[in-house]
Amino acid sequence: MGTALAEQRVAAGGVELSLLVPVDPEALIDESRFAEDEFMPYWAQLWPAALALASALPADLSGVRVVELGCGLGVPSFVAASRGATVVATDWAPEAIELLEQNAARNGIELAARVADWRTLTGAFDLALAADVLYEPRNVDPLARLLPTLAPETLLGLGNRPHEADFLARVSTEPVAARVVRIRSAYHFRYQ
């Protein structure tokens, strides 16, 4: 991976995890990758929205097919897998997926991890997860269009980003409108 890692103990949703995390996420900023697609190493930090999302997951996910978009360090994916779900964790950063696989093995958690740009993701799942993925306005429309095509339900952890209100307004007016319920610091969308 090429960056220093340190152990971080995390308790999320009743699951204790030992994660390796980048010591200095800002050192991962690469100007040439930013020029490609405004790529930033958001994946390298543990965001409060991910912890809130992990805590909002149902206690029993046995047999539930879950996809996490922009998984970063993957805490919601780890909690979902620990609760019985079949999980596919996705991120567009290969480094995120590499570290996620290491951390899954470190914690004895089985899941699938894939490099994928969620703006073009396809698949059929029972539940979609996403935490703090609305950094830029360009993500609002693609995410609102994508979620109902992936799963009939979504749990979304928000991080108080400026574009989240636009997203929440958009999901209620999409051709497949969502019924939105707030669960603590996360939002549950059920598509009609």
Q: What is the pLDDT of residues 118-144, one digit of tens each?
A: 888 888 999 999 998 888 888 898 998
The reported pLDDT for the residue numbered 24 is: 72
In the chain the beta strands, taken as DSSP E runs, fall at 5-12, 15-22, 65-69, 86-91, 112-115, 127-131, 153-157, 178-183, 186-191
Taking residue 105's Cβ as centre, other Cβ atoms within 10 Å add up to 10
Where does 5-191 sit in CATH, by number?
A: 3.40.50.150
pLDDT(80) > 50: yes
Q: Which residues pair with 65 in a beta bridge?
A: 86
Domain ranges of the chain: 5-191
> pLDDT tens-digit profile of 9-66?
999 999 999 998 888 766 665 656 544 655 556 777 888 889 999 999 999 999 999 9
Which range, of 96-100, 171-175, 183-187, averages the lowest pLDDT? 183-187
The reported pLDDT for the residue numbered 35 is: 46
The predicted model scores a pTM of 0.86
Instruction: State both tokens at 40.
Output: 């930033």
